[in-house]
C-alpha cells in the first residue's frame, strides 16, 4: 500500500523512489511515508472523498 | 542478507550534550564507515589458586569511527559544521555562501564540538544503530588528478542506542571533480601540483568521570589544533624549493567550482584558504628514470591577521546549516 504525502524538506533523492522537491505530492510505501511524516519531512494529505465541504449558499439572481 | 550498499548513514546536530536528535538528519553518501561500540574488558588480577585468568568485567565504553565520503557540496557543509562549528552565511537569491572557520571556543563544558547524533541503518539487517554525543575530531580533504574530491572525518564519543531504522533521503547534486580545482600560492596560480591533501586535527579525547556510567562524560581537547598540508608537485623549476629553503609563510588557496549551476553565473563553490602555509619537507630527488616529482608536506600556521589557521568557503543551495 502507498500513501500520498506532501514533501516538506528541500529537494532530496529518496532511495528507490525518486526525487522529491519541496511542496511536491509524492506516493510512498506506507512504512516509508510514516517514517518521513514522523521525521517532519513530509505530511499526509487528507483523502479527497473524506474532505468536508460546505454547500454553496444560494444566490439570488438580479436584473441584468 | 544485507549489503553495505544498502546502508544509510546520517548526521544530525544536537541542541545539547546528552540528548540524541532524531530528526533534521543529513544523510551522507559515503564510501566507508567504521562506527562501532567498543567495550574494554577489565580482568581481575586477584589470585585465586588457579592458573587461569580472573573474572572479567565490562570496562569503559566508547564509540569511534571514520566516515569517508566523496565530498558532496551539501553534505560537505554538514561535515564542516561538525568540525568547525556553525558558519556565517551570506545569501544572494537562492545562492548561499557559508564561511567556516575553526572554533574559538568549545561548545560547552562537556563537548568541544557541536555534539552530533549519527544514525546508521544497516540495510535489511534489523535495528538501526544510533550513536550520540559524538564529536568530530579530525577531517582530511584530498583531491588528485582523475579523481573526485574526497573527505574523511573521525568521530569520537560514546553513547549508543538501537532504534527502528529512520527513513533516508539524500541531497541532489554532484560531487566536486579534480578538473574543477585550481591552486594558488601567494596569490599566483600554480599549475604544477598534481595532488593535494590537508588534515585538520582538533586533538580531542574522551574523558571518563565517576558519574555512574561506563560511557564518556565529556569529549574535550587534549592538545593544540594542527593543520597538515601535503601534496605532489611536478618539479619543473626551483621556485617552490626556494620557498622551502627560505621557510617562507604564504597564502595557499585551493578553489573548486561545482557542476551545479545554482543561478545564472553562479555555480557551487569550495574555497580552502590557508592564510599562512609553510613547507616542512620538500626533497627533490631522482628516485628513478621517470619525470621528477616531489612529494611535499607542510603545515598551516595560525595567522594573527586573519585570526584563523584555516578558512573554508562553501557556496551551494543549502539555506542554513
Which of A24, A33, A38 would best serve as a mutation to test chain B binding (most B beta carbons within 10 A)?
Answer: A38
Q: Kind and range of the H or E element at B80?
A: helix B73-84
With contacts defined as CB-CB under 8 Å, which chain A residues touch B168? 14-15
Reported as half-sphere exposure (CB side, CA atoms, 13 A), residue B61 has a value of 16
DSSP code per residue over B244-263: HHHT--EEEEEEEEEEEEEE
Q: Report d(CA B216, CA B77) in Å as an integer.
A: 27
Confidence of residue A55 (pLDDT cuts 50, 70, 90): low
Quickly count: other Cβ atoms within 10 Å of residue B63's Cβ.
Answer: 23
For A37, the closest chain B residue by CA position comes to: B167
What is the grid cell recorded at B138? 579530525
Q: Which residue has the cell 568547525?
A: B84
Confidence of residue A5 (pLDDT cuts 50, 70, 90): very high
Quickly count: other Cβ atoms within 10 Å of residue B90's Cβ.
Answer: 12
Question: Higher model confidence: residue B202 or residue A53?
Answer: B202
Section A11-38 average pLDDT: 91
Reported as half-sphere exposure (CB side, CA atoms, 13 A), residue A49 has a value of 0
Q: Report d(CA B86, CA B166) in Å as an integer.
A: 25
Give the pLDDT of residue A54: 56
For B23, the closest chain A residue by CA position comes to: A39
Which of A32, A41, A42, A43 would best serve as a mutation to test chain B binding (most B beta carbons within 10 A)?
Answer: A41
Confidence of residue A56 (pLDDT cuts 50, 70, 90): low
Ramachandran area for residue B191 (φ above 0: left; ψ -120 to 50: alpha; else beta):
alpha
| pLDDT beneath 70: ranges in chain B | none
Residue A57: alpha-carbon gap to chain centroid: 28
Note whether A25 contacts B: Cβ–Cβ < 8 A. Answer: no
- The CA-atom distances, in angstroms, between B68 and each of B76, B140, B236 are 11, 9, 33
Contact B23 A40 (CB under 8 A): yes
Give the pLDDT of residue B77: 95
Give the pLDDT of residue A1: 86
Give the pLDDT of residue B12: 95
Give the pLDDT of residue B272: 96
Rounded to the nearest 5 percent, the helix, strand and coil shares of chain B are: 10, 55, 40
User: How many beta-carbon pairs under 8 angstroms link A with B?
Assistant: 41
Quote the mean pLDDT of chain A: 80
User: Hey, where are the domains in chain B?
Assistant: 4-41+57-316
Give the pLDDT of residue B181: 84
ipTM value of the model?
0.75
Give the nearest partner residue to B167 out of A11, A19, A32, using CB atoms. A32
Give the pLDDT of residue A63: 53
Contact A35 B167 (CB under 8 A): yes
Query: How does pLDDT run across B240-299, given as a tens digit for each residue?
Result: 999 999 999 999 999 999 888 888 888 999 999 999 999 999 999 998 899 899 999 999
CB B114 within 8 A of CB B155: no
Q: Report d(CA A64, CA B174) in Å as an integer.
A: 62
**B242 φ/ψ angles, rounded to the nearest 5 degrees:** -65, -35
Contact A36 B318 (CB under 8 A): no
Q: Report d(CA B276, CA B303) in Å as an integer.
A: 6
Q: What's the DSSP call for residue B18?
A: T
Contact A9 B169 (CB under 8 A): yes
Confidence of residue A64 (pLDDT cuts 50, 70, 90): very low
Instruction: State the burial class of residue B216 (Cβ atoms within 10 Å of its Cβ: 0-12, 13-18, 19+).
Output: buried
Note whether A12 contacts B: Cβ–Cβ < 8 A. Answer: yes
pLDDT at A53 over 70: no
Q: Nearest-CA neighbor of B292 among B233, B239, B242?
A: B233
Burial A24-58 (b: 16+ CB within 10 A, else e): eebebeeebbbbbbebebbeeeeeeeeeeeeeeee
Give the pLDDT of residue B144: 85
Numbered residues of chain B with Cβ closer than 8 Å to any chain A Cβ:
8, 22-25, 166-172, 317-319
With contacts defined as CB-CB under 8 Å, which chain A residues touch B318? 10
Which residues, 6 or more positions from A43, have their beta carbon under 8 angstroms from its beta carbon?
A5, A6, A8, A37
Contact A12 B318 (CB under 8 A): no
Give the pLDDT of residue B234: 93
Contact B169 A32 (CB under 8 A): no
Contact A40 B172 (CB under 8 A): no
Amino acid at each position: 500500500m502507498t500513501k500520498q504525502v506532501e514533501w516538506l524538506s528541500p529537494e532530496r533523492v529518496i532511495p528507490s523512489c525518486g526525487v522529491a522537491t519541496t511542496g511536491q505530492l509524492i506516493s510512498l510505501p506506507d512504512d516509508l511515508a510514516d517514517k518521513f511524516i514522523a521525521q517532519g519531512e513530509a505530511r499526509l494529505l487528507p483523502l479527497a472523498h473524506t474532505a468536508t465541504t460546505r454547500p454553496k449558499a444560494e444566490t439570488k439572481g438580479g436584473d441584468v | 542478507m544485507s549489503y553495505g550498499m544498502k546502508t544509510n548513514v546520517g548526521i544530525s546536530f544536537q541542541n545539547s550534550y546528552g540528548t540524541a536528535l532524531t530528526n533534521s538528519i543529513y544523510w551522507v553518501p559515503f564510501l566507508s564507515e567504521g562506527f562501532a561500540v567498543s567495550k574494554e574488558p577489565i580482568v581481575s588480577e586477584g589470585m585465586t589458586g588457579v592458573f587461569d585468568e580472573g573474572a572479567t568485567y565490562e570496562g569503559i565504553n566508547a564509540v569511534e569511527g571514520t566516515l569517508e565520503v566523496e565530498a558532496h557540496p551539501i553534505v560537505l557543509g554538514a561535515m564542516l559544521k561538525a568540525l568547525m562549528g556553525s558558519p556565517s552565511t551570506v545569501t544572494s537569491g537562492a545562492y548561499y555562501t557559508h564561511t567556516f572557520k575553526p572554533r574559538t571556543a568549545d561548545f560547552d563544558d562537556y563537548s568541544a564540538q557541536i555534539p552530533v547524533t549519527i544514525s546508521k541503518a544497516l540495510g535489511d539487517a534489523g535495528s538501526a544503530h544510533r550513536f550520540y554525543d559524538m564529536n568530530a575530531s579530525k577531517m582530511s580533504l584530498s583531491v588528485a588528478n582523475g579523481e573526485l574530491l574526497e573527505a574523511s572525518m573521525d568521530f569520537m564519543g560514546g553513547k549508543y542506542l538501537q532504534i527502528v531504522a529512520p527513513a533516508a533521503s539524500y541531497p541532489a547534486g554532484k560531487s566536486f571533480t579534480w578538473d574543477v580545482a585550481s591552486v594558488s600560492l601567494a596569490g599566483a596560480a600554480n599549475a604544477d601540483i598534481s595532488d593535494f591533501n590537508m588534515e585538520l586535527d582538533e586533538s580531542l579525547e574522551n574523558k571518563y568521570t565517576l558519574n555512574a556510567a561506563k560511557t564518556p562524560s565529556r569529549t574535550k581537547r587534549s592538545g593544540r589544533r594542527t593543520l597538515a598540508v601535503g601534496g605532489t608537485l611536478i618539479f619543473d623549476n626551483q621556485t617552490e624549493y626556494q620557498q622551502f629553503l627560505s621557510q617562507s609563510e604564504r597564502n595557499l588557496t585551493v578553489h573548486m567550482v561545482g557542476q551545479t549551476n545554482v543561478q545564472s553565473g553562479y555555480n557551487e563553490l569550495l574555497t580552502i584558504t590557508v592564510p599562512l602555509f609553510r613547507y616542512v619537507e620538500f626533497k627533490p630527488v631522482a628516485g628513478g628514470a621517470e619525470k621528477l616529482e616531489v612529494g611535499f608536506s607542510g603545515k598551516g600556521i595560525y595567522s594573527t591577521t586573519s585570526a584563523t589557521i584555516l578558512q573554508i568557503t562553501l557556496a551551494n543551495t543549502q539555506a542554513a546549516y
